[in-house]
Every structure is written in structure tokens, then in C-alpha cells.
Structure 1
Amino acid sequence: MSLSVRILGASGGIGPNRRTTSILIDEDILIDAGIGVGDLTLSELQKIRHVFLTHSHLDHIGFLPMLADMVYSPDSPPIQIHALPATLKALREHVFNWVIWPDFTCLPTPAQPILEFRPIGSEEQVTIGSREVRALPALHTVPTVGYGVIHHDGMGFAFTGDTTSSEALWDALNALPYLDLLMIESGLPDEMDSLADLSKHYTPHRLSDDLDALRHDPRIAITHLKPGHEMAIRQQLQQSQYASRMVLLEGAERFELHAQNRTLKAG
């Protein structure tokens, strides 16, 4: 058994060959619904049964309306949309409001809608087959969570969502039983630290410091690099003591996680 993690989008912006955040777990779980969702085939889209949203910003939810429009089948159950209550409220009021987009939580009928909203609290969990999806506390400019996906056979993936330094996040990551791959942002270069503080994003220096708190020893996938700053961020991350374990995501990467013997870092 393995846990499949397919990166559909990992950019902090748009442009040629850039897709905003979206991650496909196995074939049926989507974490965030950025531009990368648009690269899936119709058959792949129709296999998605659960969408876990980290927060309400457009680069993370922008293609959810189009997904809803594409996947209708009279024989299929609703797609479960899991998110914080504040995120679901934002979707109802500002997206699925019959002005920006039809309300697919009551179409084609209220009894059998295309989308079904499922509120989730920070550090709550949802079991889907052999996988457990845990909400992880994160710190951003709007209510935000990350997600840990644990396979019962002993594999683990975590995505922090958009976040800055948060002791609660690292405590939650350390509480995961397995962590083979950590996807975490470093959106702005060190010289933009003041802006990063205001917009609640990581810089390479802040991220490297915080990784010291992690007791697992995963591969580290860096996401959300802002266009125009990629080269500076890459160069600064290369100075990190964790550089040998880092991969800077460009989108279209696939990771197959397998159960293995592992140890926690000392300390």
C-alpha cells in the first residue's frame, strides 16, 4: 500500500507554467482548489469525493466553482467540502450566492446537491477509508488550517497551508504518528520580512528556524513562492541546514509514500 500525493499547483501566483495551490491525495481527496485543478481530466475530476480547504483566499478556492460545474452526475453522492466554519461562510456569502456562481449546495435539488458543506474545527479529524485527515492549526490573515493525512498502514503527509510561525502548528505536526512528506510555504524572501509579517507568510530564515522544532524527519516540499522572488527564495533556502531534504515545488510533482521504519529526531 502507498499514499499518493500529486501536486497540481504550488505557486504563490499566476503566469506561464504557474498553478496555484491544489493537491490530489490518491484519486479522491483534494486539498485546496487553486488553478492546478484545471489540469485534471474530466474522468479525474469525477473521482474526487472530498475537498479539504485550508482557507478562503482566492488562490486556494478559485477553481472550486468550476469543479462543481463539471462533475455533476445524477448517480453520484455530493462532494464533501470540509473547511472551517468561517471559510464555508465566505463561500456561501461571496461565491455560491447566485451572483458570482450558482449555489451548488442546493442544485440540482436541496435533497441531492452537488456540494455538501462539512464544517471542521482545528485539530478535528475525518476518516476516509484507510486514511485519516486531521486539521492542523495555522496562522494566516484569515481563519486557516493545514491538514495531515495519515494512512493506517503507516504513512503520513502534511500540508501547512498559508502560515507563519505558530507554536501550535509545530506541536500538531509533532503529534502526528507518521510524517514522511511535509509541504510548507516560504512565500517571500528574507529581505521582505516586514511584508511577510503583515501578510503572515514564511521567509526562508523564519522557516529554517522553526524547522528546528520538528521532531519528525520528513522530506520537505517548499510551496507558495511568489513570482518574481523565486530565485532569491531558492538561494536563501540553500543556506538552510535542511536544504538537502528540501524540494522546491513547481507543480506536477508526484510522491508515493510507503510504510518504512523511521525514528524521531532527538530532543
Structure 2
Amino acid sequence: MKLTVLGCSGGIGGASARTTAFLVDDDVLVDCGTGVGDLELDALKRIDHIFITHSHLDHIASIPLLVDSVGDGRGYPLTVYATPETLRILRSHIFNWLVWPDFSSIPDRQRPFMRFQPMLLGESVSLGGRVFTALPAHHTVPAVSYCIDSGQAQLLYSGDTAYCPELVEAINALPALRHLIVETAFPDEQRGLAMASRHLCPGMLATMLSELSVAPEVYISHLKPGMGERILQQIESHGGRLRPQALVQGQVIEF
């Protein structure tokens, strides 16, 4: 199994700043930010499943355009997985015929271009031997993280989260965890803003990592544009057993 980083930035501004989207093999997206727009049409047509961590725009921006681009050429609906709360937000505020058409009823409800699949916290979905499990996160809207299990190893993606003891507990319960993608959106001097918006800063990340009993490779995502170098320097200055590195757009992680 491979995960390709289509976008991992906390904002836009240049060709290397695409918001969060990960392509698993060639048929599954985890989050659907602006990075999806760089895929060619043939690649977009191969995507059958989208797992969404939460409803914020930088993580869902490409869903409406993706479905609009490929829906008519598919023989079955593209499936969007998220918590019931997140799906309610998508239905109410995006696919509401005001912002965008409701593709779960186009061309009709018996043969839609897209379908919503509720996914509860702790629930797993198996797709061709690959298992996707929704785990805790702590954000300003209902949110989850995802563990992706290839059958040989596991990768956990935190989504957007503040320090979350339940997530730490869940990570420590993953003995085959090889990779951890975790956000750190703000530098330490903006700790108050990080707490208010329920994101991590380097000090909070250091606390979280110090509580881990597992030893995955740690990759940092969701760096705010213009602040990335400073955040990474502060992460390094905190030290610790694990040595995080920046996640990079275009990076491929195999596990």
C-alpha cells in the first residue's frame, strides 16, 4: 500500500501549497483539499472512496468539483465516509442546491453520482484488504483521525486536532504503527490561538509525542504558510525520543 501526499499545507500560496489530501493507492482519498485538483482527469476517475476527517473547507474543498467532473462517467457512486455530524454539515451547507447541487440525488436517488456513508468513531471499513478506522480527534467541529492498516503495517493521520488524550491512547494501542502524520499549525508564540482553534503548536506536540509508547516515523502537516520553517525549528528545539520531519507535497509513503 502507498499513500501519496497531494497536499499537506495549512493554507494556499504557490504551487507547493495545497491543502490536505492524501491518495491511498489510486482509488481512495483521505481528506479532499485543494491538492486533488492537480490530478489528471483519468486519475480522478479512478477514485471510488473519500474518507473525511471533518467539515472545514481546506479538507473538503475539492469534493464538489471532483464529483462534478467525474460523476457522469462512472457506473456507480463515489462514496464519501464521515461521521454523521460531518455528513449533516456537508448536506446542509455544501450540497444544498444553493452552494452546490446535491449529487446524492443526481441524476436520481436510485442512481446518484455520490453517496454518503456514515462512519462512527471506532468503526472500521475494509476495502480490498485495506482497513480504515475512525479514531478520536479534538477540534472545533466534530472530527476524527484515521488509522490505515495495510495488513502489514499501520499509518495514523491525526486530521486537525488539539492535544487529545483519547488519541494518544488510541495511538498507543496500535502495535504495528509505522507512520504518524500529525498536524502542527501554529508556532509556540501563538499557543493561545492554537488552543482557541484547537490545533497543535510545537510545545503541545512535544507533550503528545512524549506520551507515546510506540515509535513511528513522525511527519508534520498543516504548517501555516510563512510559518513552516519557524514551527519546524521549534519542534526540533523541544527534542524528545521521536524526531519529527516535515511532510512534503508529492511525498510517497509505503507501508
- Normalising TM by the smaller chain, what interval? over 0.9
Report the equivalent of 1:26.
25
**DSSP-derived class of the 2:75 partner:** coil
Shift of 1:77: 1.4
Match of 1:15 in 2: 13
1:26 is matched by which residue type in structure 2?
A: D
The aligned counterpart of 1:122 is 121
Query: Which segment is superposed worse, 112-121 or 238-247?
Result: 238-247
- State yes or no: 1:247 paired with 2:242: no
Render the CA deviation track for 1:200-254: whole Å, top value 9, x for unaligned. Answer: 0101111011112222211111000111211210110121335873221231111
Write the letter of the residue equivalent to 1:228.
G
1:151-205: CA deviations, max 9, x gaps? 12x1111100000111111111122242111100010000111111100010111
- Structure 1 outlier segments of 4+, above 3 Å: 242-245
Structure 1, unaligned runs of 5 or more = 258-267
Residue in structure 2 matching 1:159, options 157, 182, 191: 157
Q: Distance in 1 between matches of 2:73 and 2:226?
A: 45
Gaps of 5+ in 2: none
Q: Are the aligned partners of 2:45 and 2:74 in contact in 1 as well (CA < 8 Å)?
A: no
Distance in 1 (CA, whole Å) between partners of 2:75 and 2:18 is 28
**Mapping of residues 71-90 of structure 1, within 5 Å:** 71-73=70-72, 75-90=74-89
- The answer for the alignment partner of 2:186 in structure 1 is 188
The answer to whether the aligner puts 1:235 opposite 2:222 as a matched pair is: no
For residues 171 and 69 of structure 2, what CA distance do their matches in structure 1 show?
35
Count of aligned pairs:
254
User: Do the aligned partners of 1:137 and 1:146 also contact (CA within 8 Å) in 2?
Assistant: yes
What does residue 205 of structure 2 align with?
207
Distance 1:90 1:81 in 2: 13
In the alignment, residue 12 of structure 1 is paired with which amino acid? Answer: G
Contact 1:237-1:243 at 8 Å conserved across structures? no
* 2:150 counterpart of 1:145: no
> Which residue number in structure 2 is paired with residue 264 of structure 1?
none
- SS of match in other structure, 2:250: coil
Q: Percent identity?
A: 42
Q: One-letter code of the match for 1:181?
A: H
Out of 176, 179, 190, which is 1:178 matched to?
176
Partner Cα separation in structure 1 for residue 232 and residue 131 of structure 2: 33
Q: CA offset at residue 115 of structure 1?
A: 0.8
RMSD: 1.4
Q: Is the 8 A contact 2:236 2:243 kept in 1?
A: no
TM-score (norm 1): 0.92
TM-score by length of 2: 0.96
Rounded Cα–Cα distance in structure 1 between residues aligned with 2:209 and 2:239: 10
